Structure 1
């Protein structure tokens, strides 16, 4: 996973397109006022036959349900703790997958995603998430509404990544946006946690790729994966391991843990320069860059850490 691998980078903030993403921050002081701001865009999406998904705390959900009345039954409510139990880039990837796989792709999807206090979720998480959304959703017909209490740091949480703020029923431009690549560089993810001794490990070499696939296939059932999930993970790990030996230093190490499914790690001493690994598909004409995208699509969580000491890629396939 060295200098030759996945060199494509995402430059510049994603521009809002009429048929693409709308990304608005929604500052608010109390639930009733937030519900009033959300009422019009939610109602418009529902009337057009679009999909509305909402991630709100209890007070804000109750206020919006009260204002919408029977129409609130058409909203898909998601548990904030469940949505945000995974890394920020994974959340952005999942919203993109939801938009691409909607039963009615011809109509707009509206996602209400509140910035809130949650265990283990800090300021850097929200900044990384908003930057990743601007990349992952750039060309998709999604309206992303991000409520945030206006006693928070609005410059960092809203104005730096949202082209507009919804205030008083109007969409007000915020001015120039920060480059998403610069933002995630300023707010890197926490280092990979120590997972203790692995259940299995193996050197990764070009000649040893068949052994890598065998080890994953043999370990996956022990972790509770069914045959379909096992096949997906085998393919995903093979993509990452192949990138490591073909485009990186030529040698790495695979480690496997059986916790909540099967977690696979490929580490090597190369350096990766991709700011948003696995979030966007490479161009159809591109010869490289497909490995990370495919691995992300085939697994539940993909995480990448890369610095002067090397690159670590972790893939999680959850059981059940």
Structure 2
């Protein structure tokens, strides 16, 4: 609350993106009049996939106020995040300072020290240059985002039972149609429907197009069911060198594909492993809204 009220007193734009329970507490503490001056977002919805928080929450708000100092509260890690989600959350936290380099913004990331695993709190000291706790404000002696990003870029565990297809211009006359149909048919049999099925079809097509254009001209699609989700990944020979790839807000002047950004915006969770030997992009879609 002091962080928010100080911002409002200085007439600075303020945004708060936290899970719904905490959002309700903040709204109540602010009161109706002050709450109307703050951009309030449910992080459980806006940040369900941690990979979309930078482009669609943090940068989306900051970019509305060019040349102005902004304050943002973002809580991407809360009790209840799964072990599958956590590496993506940790990677997101490590990328924030890189995404905001040279910009006039202060971002506060709350951590529930009573309910989160102590390992999570230790990780936070590696992804944040400044720590605020019961003892006051201090510089983090463990701040080391490059190490965190290397640790987050690990090979993804192989699926136990996946339907697989290879695609490429040398294999099919219309590989993107084959990829879309293969993925959508499997997902539909697994219970995905409506707009979410259309989203999966689009993401599969965008990632496969990246393979054809930038990943050696071919790739492998694997799709399977896992814990109430339809999961698929695309593997190819490409190497992503920009750590913020897929997290830059859409640029209307950009030519070519925005496939990885579309993937982050539409998927319920996205994991990427990349290196000189190739890239695997894994996307999770919740069936019936349940993880």
How high is the TM-score relative to the length of structure 2? 0.66
Match of 2:72 among 103, 107, 110: 110
Shift, 1:308, TM fit: 4.3
Relative distance call for 1:258 and 1:185 in structure 2 (3 A) is: closer
1:213 to 180, 200, 210: 180
Inter-CA distance 83–117: structure 2 relative to 1 (3 Å threshold)? farther
Task: For 2:182 and 2:86, locate their aligned partners in 1 and report how far apart those are by CA, in whole Å.
Answer: 39
Secondary structure, counterpart of 1:287 in structure 2: coil
Matched, 1:265 2:227: no
Deviation, structure 1 residue 291: 1.8
Q: Relative to 1, partners in 2 of residues 1:142 and 1:218: Cα closer, same or farther, differing over 3 Å?
A: farther
- How far apart are 1:305 and its partner, in Å? 0.8
2:206 is matched with 239
Q: Is residue 73–residue 110 contact of structure 2 (8 Å, CA) maintained in 1?
A: no
Q: How much does 1:312 deviate? A: 0.9
Partner in structure 1 of residue 95 of structure 2: 132
> 1: CA distance between counterparts of 2:264 and 2:51?
12
**Could you say what secondary structure the match of 1:187 adopts?**
helix
Give the number of equivalent residue pairs.
267
Distance 1:234 1:142, change over 3 A: farther
8 Å Cα contact 2:19/2:75 also seen in 1: yes
| 8 Å contact from structure 2 (residues 93, 127) kept in 1 | no
> What is the match of residue 291 of structure 1?
259
Report the counterpart of residue 4 of structure 2 in structure 1. Answer: 42
Task: Tell me what 1:26 maps to.
Answer: none
Tell me how far apart the structure 2 counterparts of residues 303 and 274 of structure 1 sit (CA, whole Å): 15
Unaligned runs of 5+ in 1: 1-38
Report the CA distance between 1:273 and its aligned residue.
2.2
Q: Work out whether residues 17 and 43 of structure 2, in 8 Å CA contact, stay in contact via their aligned partners in 1.
A: no
* Alignment correspondent of 2:157: 193
Q: 1:160 to 1:299 in 2, by over 3 A?
A: closer
Query: Quick one: structure 1 residues 222 and 241, their matched pair in 2 at CA, closer, same or farther if it must change by over 3 Å?
Result: same
Bigger relative contact order, structure 1 or 2 (CA pairs below 8 A, ≥6 apart)? 1
1:1-320 to structure 2, matched below 5 A, reads 39-44=1-6, 50-54=14-18, 68=29, 90-91=49-50, 93-94=52-53, 96-99=55-58, 110-113=72-75, 120=83, 128-136=91-99, 143-147=106-110, 157-158=124-125, 161-162=128-129, 164=130, 182-198=146-162, 200-206=163-169, 207=173, 208-259=175-226, 260-281=228-249, 283-288=251-256, 290-320=258-288
Q: Tell me, in whole angstroms, the C-alpha distance in 2 between the residues paired with 1:301 and 1:91.
A: 7
Partner residue, 1:7: none
Gap change, CA 1:295 and 1:41, over 3 Å in 2: same
Q: C-alpha separation between the residues in 2 aligned to 1:159 and 1:179? A: 5
- Offset of residue 276 of structure 1: 2.8
Deviations 1:119-140 (A, max 9, x none): 7499977763322222456699
> Partners in 2 of 1:300 and 1:271 — Cα distance?
23
CA distance in 2, matches of 1:126, 1:319: 21
Q: Distance in 1 between matches of 2:187 and 2:84?
A: 30
CA distance in 2, matches of 1:123, 1:299: 16
